[in-house]
Amino acid sequence: MSAPANWSLREDIRAYWEQRAQTFDLSPGHGTDDPVEIALWADLLRDLGLVPGMRVLEPACGTGAFTTALLAAGAEVEGIDFTHAMLARAQARHGTRARFRLAAAETPMVVPGYFDAIATRHLVWTLTAPATTFAAWAKALRPGGLLIIIDGDWRRQTALSRLATKLGQGWDRRAARVPLWDDAANTAIMDRLPFGDGLRAEKLAGLLQEAGFSAPRFAALGPIRWRQLRQAGWRDRLALLQTAALPFAMVVRRL
């Protein structure tokens, strides 16, 4: 059955992530209960300027996996997501240690200037209206507030990532492995996104400065990626290597 005429890209995204909630934490590099990795994430967040007691908004909090790191760094977290299934898992994971509510990243519906920081992981590449979203985030932050972005260029590949992709696909065919997500649906969505051709850090920095943020500062994800590789099984290592050279961590300040 074809989608109705008024079915939007945002609704496709919502439906996709409602379904992905069931297996999201099983995807390499997403959910973790490894205390060493959580501590490394908390160290990274502190290096990017997060200090205990900060009021932090986490758009697209998903299942609350990254919320764990924010809490470990001492943040007071309010997570928002526009999928019920993701929020249910986040609430079950953290109970009263964080607040969660239904809202879209583009329209967080918060008191202007209330938050000390906004922190996102693997969200920005999915935005349907980046400029509008960044303006809303700037409004939500106090002057000097932090915007921390963990993301990456999930489209552009290196020689290593191409090899890892080929080996992983061969492994899956031999093992008759069932995919954790609908790759065709994911690709169809990516093709229609503003960052569908890849999220470049330099392009993102320019858009953020236009929205009233400072020039970015970057931090290394190497120790975290190395820990993830050490803890993963062989198939998951191949999945991580598909994007190992491309993720980035950056922080900007609201001017």
Q: Which residues, at least 6 apart from 227, have a Cβ–Cβ distance to it below 8 Å? A: 34, 36, 37, 40
- On whether residue 170 sits in a domain, the answer given is yes
Per-residue pLDDT at 246 exceeds 90: no
Name the residue with tokens 């993830």: 228
Range of the domain at 15: 9-253
- On whether residue 4 sits in a domain, the answer given is no
- On whether residue 3 sits in a domain, the answer given is no
- On whether residue 2 sits in a domain, the answer given is no
What CATH number does residue 245 fall under?
3.40.50.150
- On whether residue 205 sits in a domain, the answer given is yes
Average pLDDT, rounded, for the chain: 91
Q: What pLDDT, in 10s, does the model give residues 106-160? A: 999 999 999 999 999 999 999 999 999 999 999 999 999 999 999 999 888 878 7
Per-residue pLDDT at 3 exceeds 70: no
Of the pLDDT bands very low, low, confident and very high (cuts 50, 70, 90), residue 1 is very low
Q: What pLDDT, in 10s, does the model give residues 177-228? A: 766 667 788 888 999 999 999 999 999 999 999 999 999 999 999 999 999 9
- On whether residue 1 sits in a domain, the answer given is no
Q: What is the 3-state secondary structure (H, E, C) of 20-68?
A: HCCCHHHCCCCCCCCHHHHHHHHHHHHHCCCCCCCEEEEECCCCCHHHH
